[in-house]
Amino acid sequence: MPDQVTTWLKDPAPGRPSTLIAEIAQAHDGSLGLAHAYIDAAAAAGADAVKFQTHIADAESTPSEPWRTRFSLQDDTRFDYWKRMEFTVEQWHGLKRHADDAGLMFLSSPFSIAAVELLKSVGVAGWKVASGEITNLPMLKAMTATGQAVLLSTGMSPYAEIDTAVEEIKRGGAPFAVFQCTTRYPSPPEAIGLNILEAFRNRYGAGVGLSDHSGTIFPSIAAATLGVDVIEVHITMSREMFGPDVPASVTTAEFAELVRGVRFVERMRTAPVDKSVVDQDIAPLREIFLKSVVATSDLPAGTVLERKHITTKKPGTGIPASSFDTVIGRRLSRDIKRDVPLLEEDLESLQ
């Protein structure tokens, strides 16, 4: 399918829809079958892209790497866990083909230059740089050399490190977007940092994304109101699933609701309402809900209307309630029944 990420980063257009990435990451827990099941679930939920993580333990880590969270009962070390998460080149090709067949862009974050080379052979829609790899300039160079879009997460970095990474990407000439990301699992509302999106857009003159770890759909929908270019959230089949990212994930059902919410927001943003005129779809309702000036009792022709003679009631088919004061003091040109909306022809001319 067309490389949507690179296309919109090279030729941004106001009001374009956000690209919605379902982050599978390590939710498959090393099961190839489950990885394929997640692709189907992401497609059914309305994702634009799926994203995995490509780990090659010997190329990215050492046996002494500490656990972020000790969660696995079957892996003695973090290194052992990465080994168990590896797929073969052939298996990665199969995942890519499945994503293509499902109409999804295929993304995977590499964690070593060896992983970059593997993914180059598989084919990706663009490069997603994980927050922990932002200072890995050799790997950034390898990515930008392909000319494909780079999506840069910034969850653990201050501006100085982000600036350096962006400069490296710009030197390579690749289109890019910078993601506000909070590396807390799950992220509390106070740590989401929606204010950073516009700051990134102004600072780097590039697309912006939100990589959310709150475990809810709310930050993504809020980001859509700000016109964010890319939204990425972790997904899980169920909150009862195994894995360290489950608390920071949304279920596939919640992701479907996120998609509906974001697309609803986008339709709102691209359809400004003109309050200087009456919407033609609303005009018929005005007669139902607005009020008219009516007589409080039967009145004969020639009556000079006083405040006690009139009130306002629905429907709004007669002289509008807003003209109530202008009716006082005018003379009836014919008999009027109680509760019948007054019309201009019921009153003598103002001449």
Contact assessment for residue 208 and residue 177, using Cβ atoms and an 8 Å cutoff = yes
Domain boundaries, the chain: 16-269, 283-346
Find all residues with CB under 8 Å of 305, minimum gap 6, and list them.
299, 327, 328, 329, 330, 331, 332
Q: Which of 36, 15, 9, 245 is nearest to 128 (CA)?
A: 9
Q: Is the pLDDT of residue 190 over 70?
A: yes
- Amino acid of residue 240: E
d(CA 247, CA 216): 10
Average pLDDT over residues 34-59: 97
CA atoms of 21 and 255, how far apart (whole Å): 10
Residue 261 clears pLDDT 50, i.e. is over it: yes
- Nearest alpha carbon to residue 252 among 26, 42, 102, 36: 42
Distance in angstroms (rounded) separating the CA atoms of residues 136 and 251: 32
**Cβ(225)–Cβ(269) below 8 Å:** yes
What digits encode the pLDDT tens for the residues 220-240? 999 999 999 999 999 999 999
Which pLDDT belongs to residue 82? 87
Residue 84 has phi, psi (to 5 degrees) of -70, -25
Q: Using one digit for the tens of pLDDT, what is the confidence trace for 120-132?
A: 999 999 999 999 9
> Cα–Cα distance between 134 and 139 in angstroms, integer?
9
State the DSSP code for 333: S
- Burial (CB count within 10 angstroms: exposed 0-12, middle 13-18, buried 19+), residue 214: buried
Q: Rounded mean pLDDT of 278-293?
A: 92
Q: What average pLDDT does range 260-266 have in this prediction?
A: 97
pLDDT at 9: 66
Q: How many CA atoms lie within 13 A of 339 on its CB side?
A: 1
Residue 212 pLDDT exceeds 90: yes
Mean pLDDT, rounded, for 307-319:
97
Domain 16-269 sits in CATH 3.20.20.70: yes
Structure-token pair, residue 26:
């390590």
Residue 252 clears pLDDT 50, i.e. is over it = yes
Those residues whose C-beta lies under 8 Å from the C-beta of residue 142, and which sit 6 or more positions away, are 113, 116, 117
pLDDT at 349: 87
Which CATH code is given to the segment(s) 283-346?
3.90.1210.10
Strand partners, 180: 210
The answer to whether the CB of 211 falls within 8 A of the CB of 153 is yes
Q: Are 295 and 346 in contact (CB under 8 A)?
A: no
pLDDT of 10: 61
What is the full DSSP assignment across 1-49?
A: ---HHHHHHHS--TTPPPEEEEEEETTTTT-HHHHHHHHHHHHHHT-SE
Three-state DSSP class for residue 147? coil
pLDDT averaged over every residue in the chain:
93
Instruction: Decide if pLDDT at 276 tops 50.
Output: yes
- Give the pLDDT score at 1: 36
**Would you say residue 2 has pLDDT above 70?**
no
**What one-character-per-residue DSSP string does 292-320 give?**
EEEESS-B-TT-B--GGGEEEES--SSSB
Q: If 0-12 CB within 10 Å is exposed, 13-18 middle and 19+ buried, where does residue 283 land?
A: exposed
Average of pLDDT values for 90-102? 98
In this structure, are residues 92 and 54 in contact, taking their beta carbons and an 8 Å threshold? yes
Tell me the pLDDT band of 6, cut-offs 50, 70 and 90. Answer: low
| Host H or E run for residue 181 | strand 176-181
